Amino acid sequence: MKCRVIAVLGTRPEAIKLALVIHEFRRRSEEFETAVVHTGQHRTMLDHVLQYFKIKPDFDLDVMRPNQTLNSLTGRVLDTVENACHRFEPNLVLVQGDTTTAFASALAAYYCKIPVGHIEAGLRSHDIYNPFPEEANRRLAAVLTEIHFPPTVLAHDNLLAEGVPADKIVITGNTVIDTLRALSQLPHSWDNTPLAGIPTENYRLVLVTSHRRESWGKDQENMCLALKDLVSQHPDIRVIYPVHMNPNVRSTVNALLRNTDRIHLTEPLDYITFVSLLRRCFLVLTDSGGVQEEAPTFGKPVLVLRNLTERPEASQFGMAKIIGMSREGIVKETNRLLNDEDAYQDMSEGSNPYGDGHGSQRIVEAISRWHQKKTPLLAPDQQFKLPARPIPRRRKSDLSERAGNAAAAGKE
């Protein structure tokens, strides 16, 4: 009997992170019958991802409303996902991450007594209002979940600490790295994209994204003022800021930054154009989860526009830094990277700690074994391991100096 799986997505990051998982299910179509449920929590921001990866939703639930509230959105997802579960009768409902689509779909499946698989499980900031509502969404999803797919060892340990049994957890690596690796061809030209016409030669490009609910208002204003300070202090930089479609973000950003010399506000970029910008930029300022995970692949230092992160691996590797949302702090930390070559080099070396491009295969294999009632869900040596931590350049030169001294001392 085939394993019937519903994969639910609704927002831009869910589509990006599930695209290759869905492909892997389809590649193993002798074992799996898969239905893609698109709640429609986002619309324009993710449809291009589905088109690029040729994914046609089997159920399109169309829940998005302009400036929607969390409660009304949750209600619509619960209702419509329940309906899709009744129609498809899956063995497992697979959700990704910490959005309202992910949490409410897990709840809808649970109410229908259908087991839930949770991808990108176990991320924790340990503060339920930061990020809001994602920290609560993912913790609530964990309670309802049968199989947990944390991307990293740290996320795995968070789940163990909450009492999740070890045999229900598989460390996968983040599937966003699978998607990044699948983009073998990035465009060289930005013609016909929102980046067309931005002069890039002889400029360092600072890529900015931000959308978190807890930063709306004052923090978002501080960030905008910091960007203005930075362009006035550095004639050789251009800020490129694809602005999220949430109207609460747009109103502040447009009011403070529209028509500022060398600050380019654009519409959200399609994924392939965004990744090509990520590869070409000098550094990244962001509060996005996905962008924090992707930037280390291209050796781009990330300054995290938040007070804490549930993705600390890149900062532990020295490839990202949490800098908060004060105007002074943002200017100071960005200046450090713009002015100090060693500081910049230190943050741009190392392997991506979030994944190795095989997350989707691990997830689908574990689900296959779960369906066949095999244990373990995935052998420990097949799970994702953290790459070695990079040694900062300055420490490296200290070490070689010390080795040189020791050798010289040995000769004496």
| Closer of 16 and 227 to ligand UD1 (Cβ) | 16
Instruction: Give dist(CA 324, CA 136) in Å, integer.
Output: 21
> Per CB under 6 A, does 291 bind ligand UDP?
yes
| Closer of 240 and 343 to ligand UDP (Cβ) | 240
Instruction: Give dist(CA 105, CA 94) in Å, integer.
Output: 9
> Per CB under 6 A, does 228 bind ligand UDP?
no
Shortest approach of ligand UD1 to residue 212 CB, angstroms? 7
Q: 323, 304 in Cβ contact below 8 A?
A: yes
3-state secondary structure of 22: helix
Q: What share of the chain is helix, strand, coil (3-state, %, to 5)?
A: 45, 15, 40
270: nearest Cα among 338, 217, 193, 335: 193
Which of residues 24, 120, 135, 294 is near ligand UDP by CB under 6 A? 294
Shortest approach of ligand UD1 to residue 270 CB, angstroms? 12
Residue 294 interaction partner, one of ligand UDP, ligand UD1, none, beta carbon < 5-8 Å per kind = ligand UDP
Which of residues 90, 117, 122, 133 is near ligand UD1 by CB under 6 A? 133
Written as six digits, the tokens of 196 are 């067309």
> Per CB under 6 A, does 247 bind ligand UD1?
yes
| Closer of 291 and 377 to ligand UDP (Cβ) | 291
Residues in region 128-187 near ligand UDP by CB under 6 A? 176
| Closer of 100 and 222 to ligand UDP (Cβ) | 100
Which of residues 25, 32, 149, 271 is near ligand UDP by CB under 6 A? 271
Instruction: Give dist(CA 279, CA 356) in Å, integer.
Output: 18
| Closer of 203 and 216 to ligand UD1 (Cβ) | 216
101: nearest Cα among 74, 141, 134: 74
For 400, other C-beta atoms within 10 Å of its C-beta total: 10
Residue 42 interaction partner, one of ligand UD1, ligand UDP, none, beta carbon < 5-8 Å per kind = ligand UD1
Which of residues 134, 270, 294, 313 is near ligand UD1 by CB under 6 A? 134
Residues in region 4-23 near ligand UD1 by CB under 6 A? 11-13
Segment contacting ligand UD1 (CB under 6 A): 37-45, 171-179, 184-192, 397-405? 37-45
Q: 181, 213 in Cβ contact below 8 A?
A: no
Instruction: Give dist(CA 63, CA 40) in Å, integer.
Output: 5
Per residue, what are the HEC states of 229-288? HHHHHCCCEEEEEECCCCHHHHHHHHHHHCCCCCEEEECCCCHHHHHHHHHHCCEEEECC
| Closer of 2 and 54 to ligand UDP (Cβ) | 54
Q: Which residue has the tokens 């969404």?
A: 137
> Per CB under 6 A, does 99 bind ligand UD1?
yes
| Closer of 59 and 271 to ligand UDP (Cβ) | 271
| Closer of 44 and 405 to ligand UD1 (Cβ) | 44
Per residue, what are the HEC states of 132-169? CCHHHHHHHHHHCCCEEECCCHHHHHHHHHCCCCHHHE
Which of residues 242, 301, 318, 353 is near ligand UDP by CB under 6 A? 242
Q: 10, 40 in Cβ contact below 8 A?
A: yes
Peptide bond into 131 cis (omega under 30): yes
Shortest approach of ligand UD1 to residue 96 CB, angstroms? 11
Which of residues 12, 139, 148, 238 is near ligand UDP by CB under 6 A? 12
The residues annotated with a catalytic role in the active site are: 98, 120, 134, 211, 213, 244
Instruction: Give dist(CA 336, CA 291) in Å, integer.
Output: 21
Q: What track of x and - describes contact with ligand UDP for positions 82 through 121 (by CB under 6 A)?
A: ----------------------------------------
Q: 361, 263 in Cβ contact below 8 A?
A: no
Q: 208, 286 in Cβ contact below 8 A?
A: yes
Q: What track of x and - describes contact with ligand UD1 for positions 198 through 237 (by CB under 6 A)?
A: -------------x--------------------------
> Under the rule (CB under 6 A), what is the footprint of ligand UDP?
12-13, 16, 176, 209, 211, 242, 268-269, 271, 274, 288-291, 294
> Under the rule (CB under 6 A), what is the footprint of ligand UD1?
11-13, 41-45, 64-68, 70, 73, 98-100, 133-134, 211, 245-247
